[in-house]
Amino acid sequence: MKILLIGKDGQLGRELRKSVPQRAELIGLGRKELDICQRNSVMEVVSSELPDIVINAAAYTAVDKAESEPEQAFRVNAYGAENLALACKEFGARLIHVSTDFIFDGQKSSPYSATDPIRPLSVYGKSKAAGEIAVQEILPEVVIVRTSWIYAQVGYNFVNTMLRLMNERDRLSVVADQLGTPTSSSTLAETIYALVRKPKTKGIYHCTDAGIASWYDFAVAIYEESKMVGLLPVDKHVQIQPVKSLDYPAQATRPAYSVLDKHRVLSELGIELKHWRQALRQILQEKAAL
């Protein structure tokens, strides 16, 4: 089996490179090797490599910055995804496309299912929604994996930002009225490779760790768990203050509730999802051991 991974240098891409299935050949490409916004380049690479599966882990993810540069967000998240789908259709490859909880408006109070209508609030969410629509129109058999609040040992993410700020400051304010689920990159990679091993899967899957949290809950857990593994000094005290979204203005509007229903992952793939705090503890332990 030959897998072409697009976005090899991102949080998910790095994790996918660490855990390649046995008897699979993985070819990873980053932005320097392939600009997915260039259709001819995408066609040339896919025709040359002739992969069985293409995993699209590339994305424009600067949520707030997207509000001031929507063209670039749509160029990568919609047009780039469309190019990959067209190449997969032309050369007979399966496509696994990674998407986001930001395609929902956050008005529900129960987990979003794959069939709930998409109503994005931000440019980033709209660009990802456009990407979903494009790949589904081109490839009815496409697999879309939606996730949320992803983090890893390295890279730009909430966990590493909080660790830096907690080492620098004695007081932090964190939004407490946005609810979702943190997702370890290892959980998402495991789910994607489970889908790789099931050639007849298609449609939309939701993948996060288990449980529900606010960003404030997540920050408090990072603080407590980091002290336990030595990433923060034991005598370091940080006061974490819960605040409302209105008190912490951002350029992009986030969904107030974006918990995802993971029924298909649990029932069809047989993956046992860890609680988000357990997954966080594991990542922090691994980070402390580096």
- Given the residues 124, 205, 216, 223, select the one marked as catalytic: 124
Q: Which residues, in sequence order, are CB contacts of 126 under 8 Å at separation 6+?
A: 74, 120
> Angle formed by the axes of helices 11-18 and 185-196, to 10°?
60
CA dihedral for 77, 79, 80, 85, sign (positive or negative): positive
Known active-site residue 248? no
Q: Which residues, in sequence order, are CB contacts of 195 under 8 Å at separation 6+?
A: 96, 143, 145, 201, 205, 269
Contact yes or no for 238/169 (Cβ under 8 A): yes
Cα distance between the two ends of the chain: 32
CA-to-CA distance for 253 and 102, rounded, in angstroms? 10
∠ CA 230-236-240, rounded to 5°: 105
Q: Which residues form the catalytic set?
A: 124
